[in-house]
Amino acid sequence: MCGDVKAGEEENPLRNPTVNLGSQSHCPAFQAEVEAELGALRSAELYRCLRTVEGLPGPRMRVDGQDVLMLAGANYLDLAGDPRVIAGAQQAMESAGCAAGGSRLITGNLALHEALEHDLATFVGAEAVLIFSTGYMANLGVITTLAGPGDVIISDALNHASIIDACHLSRASTRVFRHNDPEDLARVAASCGGFRRRVLVLDGVYSMDGDVARLREMAPIARASNMVVVLDDAHGLGILGPGGRGVASQEGVVVDIQIGNLGKALGSFGAYVACSHTLRELLINRTRSLIFTCGLAPAPLGAAHAALRIIQDEPWRRLRLLERAEQLRAGLKTAGFDTGASTTHIVPAIVGDNRATMSLCERALALGVHAQGIRYPSVPEGTARIRFTPMCSHSPDDIQHAVKIFSELGR
């Protein structure tokens, strides 16, 4: 009788291994629709697949079975594999286990959360910090808490997808201005007088272009229009500004809310929101992406805390990263590539055509250099590119070799 379904009971596919949840026979029409969608993506050169990455994070790794020079990650300061950061993760697990065990409002608010929040707030110069499970959830949570029906969000045209999705979910009106254009921001701001609340949302470093938000020019426009300024500085923390405190610090501007990431320069996982004490309390009480999910696990908290100490003790990491990025940018320009408006550690080589971009990416990978091809919708149509993200641990010879490979392939 073991495995039989009793009278009156429905068969449970999770208890019966003979049921194939992926079988095409369950709904042939749906399966055909999925195959047609995939076919359309292939025809448009937009089909994507997952690469398998192996080894300790570093300047050289194994990608799809091949040893390569890694120029495609966000481990900018090479801390994700640092023994001190790994030890921080291990110590956190030994003291608090492998999971937070629930929402932060139930059982998941760990002393590890609060300790890291305190030190992050001190580092970035904020009254308070609140940690989220991912950067995507932080952006969704903050924007949907700040804005709703009757409010307006003013958003840069090249803001991250998580910001765009948050604008839609908020049900607030959304006005988009031309990328990094203060004059167009002023034009849009002039039309937003009838709303209850006005929220300006910017990326600190634009992750596909490598340029920096023109905060010095935009902040006065925002203040004159009584806007709340939200800055997603996922790629600036630990690298830009005095001591690596980010774009707002570099530009000498105070923003209302700074959203940062623990999974890039800090070599861990998760995100944070830096703000006032009162806003932190509102987020705890209103933000669905915090309330209805598990708290960040102990290991990434311990890793991020260790990494935060390292970036303060070893400023050479961010300085060397920026040197390598400038060497790479100059070399690609000399080789005839368009690096756009990049001034940071993110360096695009804009190709334009999807097929040509991915062909260049795959040929470089075959020659031992991994820099990922990026296409729509990650970037606007017609601006497909190779996106290079060097690390502080790359040598000048590494960068020279990558430039040589792409120079030869580009010809």
| Distance in angstroms (rounded) separating the CA atoms of residues 106 and 114 | 15
| Residues of the chain by 3-state class (helix, strand, coil), percent to 5 | 40, 15, 40
Query: Residue 333 catalytic?
Result: no
Residues 56, 234: Cα–Cα separation, whole Å:
23
Q: Which amino acid is at 354?
A: N
CA–CA dist 232, 258 (Å, integer) = 6
Residues near 352 by beta carbon (within 8 Å), at least 6 away in sequence: 382, 383, 384
Tokens of 391: 């690390």
Q: Which of 113, 160, 235, 394 is catalytic?
A: 235
Which distant-in-sequence residues (6+ apart) come within 8 Å of 299 by Cβ?
89, 90, 92, 93, 98
Annotation marks residue 235 as catalytic: yes
Catalytic residue among 113, 160, 264, 305: 264
- Residues 383-403 as b/e (b if ≥16 CB within 10 A, e otherwise) read bbbbbbbbbbbbeeebbebbb
Residues contacting 307, CB < 8 A, separation 6+? 77, 79, 82, 85, 88, 238, 265, 266, 267, 268
Which 3-state string (H, E, C) describes 196-232? CCEEEEEECECCCCCCECCHHHHHHHHHHCCEEEEEE
Cα 45 to Cα 40, 338, 355, 376: the distances in Å are 9, 21, 6, 10
Task: Give the C-alpha distances (Å, rounded to integers) separating 233 from 92, 154, 203, 227, 241.
Answer: 26, 17, 6, 18, 11
Give yes or no: 277 in active site: no
| Catalytic residue, candidates 155, 162, 170, 207 | 207
Residues annotated as catalytic (active site), given as ranges: 207, 235, 264
